Amino acid sequence: MKKALNTNIAEQINNGSTILGIEMGSTRIKAVLIDQNNNPIASGGFAWENTLKEGVWTYSLDEVWDGVKSSYASLLNDIRGKYNVNLTRVKSIGISGMMHGYLVFDKDGNQLTPFRTWRNNITGTASRELTELFSYPIPQRWSIAHLYQSVLNGDQHVGEIDYITTLAGYVHWKLTGKKVMGIGEASGMFPIDLEKKDFNSTLADKYDIHIEGNGYPWKLKDILPKVLVAGENGGILSTEGARLLDPKGNLSSGIPLCPPEGDAGTGMVATNSVSLRTGNISAGTSVFAMLVLEKELSRVHPEIDLVTTPDGNLVGMAHSNNCTSDYDAWISIFGQAAGALGMNVSTSVLYDTLLNLALKGDPDCGGLLSYGYISGEHMTGFTEGRPLFVRSPDSKFTLENFIRTHLFTSLCALRTGLNVLMDEEDVKVDEIRGHGGFFKTAEVGQKIMAAATNIPISVLETAGEGGPWGTALLASYMVRENRDKSLSAFLEQVFAGSIEEAVKPDPEDVKGFQLFFDRYHRGLAIEKAAVENLNC
């Protein structure tokens, strides 16, 4: 990427030529500002966590707006600290959020039921029935699965629905007044017609016929958002929307927004993985691999989501609900232990020190085993989870093996899905590009991920910015000068020279992961017993 001179960044901010991206992730809401050359120049964030209420993982809408405002205010502080200027206008804005989920509203805009996030595995019956009805994989996380499960449950709110959307779509709607959705995010709500770049009307009609006996006053396509592809205009920031972002009133209205996208789509953009035979892995609270497919899959695989890139190419997605949360908890315990011993160890030093030990462990983790199932895991058939650690008397119980075990297990459900794509469907990918918290400790994330996938893994200089930068790039693409330039060509220009050399799989690590992976699947009966017997 071309680097802008620091001396003219303040001028760019003052004249409104920078671009803003905001992403609502699972544990952090982050705002990123980029310059005319698409380089991140400032950022702000807000930490949050979902809450389990009455068996449903959720965030309140008040939490959403508190987080969005706080992340934007944090960005403003960063800008003032670095460049001694105030942000009053940008060239364009992009909004993204954790993909999937269920947000429904009545005709007056009132929320009808608490937000159900992607993390909920409570739609198993709906998922199975819709997959059979459509002959198309409908994962439990998808909005249509949540809607149909509410139908099956006889939930009273269903008849009052006027609009169904996702978190990104909701925030975008409130900022612009437009009920629209980027095609990548839309593809996680309901199946897409790849030729028409719209929701599949044949399947929507089939759904309406299937539930017509319930007497609901709506048809499915009437309550879904309008689908847009990358590069199209998603609406204009309203006066009310500007105040939602900036209650102090300094941000101008009238700014164009790109179509809202999910974190899967922005991850593809942030890793330059929208072309055929490219792939990316986003690894943090959850982990998912996105492989851009050269052709349709031969049959329905319940383990695999079929979604799209932000410009509408077919993608095979292997998604695991659980990745770093359990080992984050263990590292926190080690930090508490250090504090109890009178040592003040920073979080970054704690992570770097412990995670690097994983590279010194036995290739197969010395016979240790753990499951980081904070929530259910659809890939292995669990609707609930119980984090646990297991070892036999003769296991090699060392700190190095303990840390390596938690890194390996965080990728086993993902590998289960990748086996479907690569072994059963013979999907080819030349290299996978990684981003997210899993890759923050230099080399460790790449080496462990290469062992788990047996594919070269690269990261980018900007991998730490992740999805918020990706959505800022989509906003930049919308206002590009060359309107004929494809998203892929635009990203090739943005990323020129910024992708680091890929880390190739070490044969011993690959062999060790396979041994651990086999142990993991043999031990799933232990996890099942924990779910059935540990309810306190």
Per-residue pLDDT of the chain (536 residues; tens, 9 = 90+): 544 455 599 999 999 999 999 999 988 999 999 999 999 999 999 999 999 898 899 999 999 999 999 999 999 999 999 999 999 999 999 999 999 999 999 999 999 999 999 888 899 999 999 999 999 999 899 999 999 999 999 999 999 999 999 999 999 999 999 999 999 999 999 999 999 999 999 999 999 999 999 999 999 999 999 999 999 999 999 999 999 999 999 999 999 999 999 998 998 998 899 988 889 898 888 898 999 998 889 999 988 989 999 999 999 989 898 999 999 999 999 999 999 999 999 999 999 999 999 999 999 999 999 999 998 998 999 989 999 999 999 999 999 999 999 999 999 999 999 999 999 999 988 889 988 789 888 799 999 999 999 999 988 765 555 789 999 999 999 999 888 999 999 999 998 876 678 999 999 999 999 999 999 999 999 999 999 999 86
- Tell me which residue range forms the domain holding 140: 100-165+190-223
Q: What is the pLDDT of residue 119?
A: 82
Are residue 341 and residue 380 in the same domain, yes or no? Answer: yes
- Does 215 reside within a domain? yes
- Does 171 reside within a domain? no
Taking the C-alpha atoms of residue 483 and residue 487, their distance in angstroms, rounded to an integer, is 10
Q: What is the pLDDT of residue 464?
A: 52
CATH code for the domain of 46: 3.30.420.40
- Does 410 reside within a domain? yes
Are residue 413 and residue 333 in the same domain, yes or no? Answer: yes
Taking the C-alpha atoms of residue 392 and residue 500, their distance in angstroms, rounded to an integer, is 40
Residue among 391, 409, 438, 444 nearest 517 (CA) = 409
**Strand bridging mode 278-283 / 431-435:** parallel
- Does 213 reside within a domain? yes
Q: What is the pLDDT of residue 437?
A: 83
- Cβ-based neighbour number of residue 215 at 10 Å: 7
Are residue 325 and residue 379 in the same domain, yes or no? Answer: yes
Are residue 194 and residue 159 in the same domain, yes or no? Answer: yes
Are residue 257 and residue 286 in the same domain, yes or no? Answer: no
Q: How many domains does the chain have?
A: 3
The DSSP secondary structure of 252-294, one letter per residue, reads -S--BBPPPEEHHHHHHHHTT--STTEEEEEESSSEEEEEE-S
Are residue 529 and residue 382 in the same domain, yes or no? Answer: yes
- Does 93 reside within a domain? yes
Taking the C-alpha atoms of residue 464 and residue 373, their distance in angstroms, rounded to an integer, is 25
Are residue 148 and residue 288 in the same domain, yes or no? Answer: no
Are residue 371 and residue 242 in the same domain, yes or no? Answer: no
Are residue 105 and residue 94 in the same domain, yes or no? Answer: no
Residue among 123, 116, 112 nearest 149 (CA) = 123
Are residue 116 and residue 201 in the same domain, yes or no? Answer: yes
- Does 178 reside within a domain? no
- Does 344 reside within a domain? yes
Give Cα 523 to chain centroid, integer Å: 28
Q: What is the pLDDT of residue 536?
A: 61
Are residue 423 and residue 483 in the same domain, yes or no? Answer: no
pTM for the full model? Answer: 0.82
- Does 388 reside within a domain? yes
Taking the C-alpha atoms of residue 426 and residue 422, their distance in angstroms, rounded to an integer, is 5
Q: What is the pLDDT of residue 435?
A: 80
Q: What is the pLDDT of residue 446?
A: 94
Are residue 381 and residue 510 in the same domain, yes or no? Answer: yes
Structure-token pair, residue 365: 């983790």
Q: What is the pLDDT of residue 120?
A: 86
